Structure 1
Amino acid sequence: MRLTKFEHAGLLLEQDGQKLFVDPGSFTSPLTDTANAVAVVITHEHPDHWTPEQLNRVRDLSPEVTIYGPEGVAAAASDFDITVVHPGDTMDAGPFTLRFFGGKHAVIHE
């Protein structure tokens, strides 16, 4: 498995030629090599963790990609088909097994 850390919260995991993107948001440079993406995981609805432009970049080259996120993401990204997940859920996406935790964003500013 290969892990690439992008700016801010963005991650890319690659295994067996397939890709998993995590939190491709507004502080992450525009994604370019998005072919063979099997999933995008968005941890919460803030724009620093996802943008429509980043999701479209992934879908352009991987139209069958599954996008996972909590209910807040599904509400914020209503133009996208979001698979809603909850803490404790486990999903398989290509070679990746995803286990979802948390559910609360830490207060980092007021």
Structure 2
Amino acid sequence: MTAEDCLIGIDCGLTVTKAIVFDTGGRELGIGRRETAQIKPGPRRVERDMLGLWADVCGALREALAGIDAGRVRAVCVTGHGDGVYLLDGADRPLGTAILSLDTRAAANITG
């Protein structure tokens, strides 16, 4: 890598999705963030719109990369809030909303 190269970190948290661009020396070049909504369709249910999450990631990336040549990016690292269920079909499209780790709808099934 050269001094002109960039690295991107993306964090899809429970409430905020963030993207940060660094140079290879660790200097922050840009940051973007989007509030990320949780859906609570009923008691003990916590879900997320997967297409909405993707839009949040894209928006945070656009903001973080403002004024930076995207051709300089050499690596992207993505992390998330924790366990959850994000189901896709055979064409990598969401099968529905994601079920987040805060969701406890199945607790009675495992605790008896």
Larger radius of gyration: 2
Normalized per residue, which structure has more helix?
A: 2
What's the TM-score bracket when you normalise by the shorter of the two chains?
Answer: under 0.3
TM-score, normalising length: structure 1 = 0.26
TM-score by length of 2: 0.26
Q: Which has the higher contact order (CA 8 A, sep 6+)?
A: 2
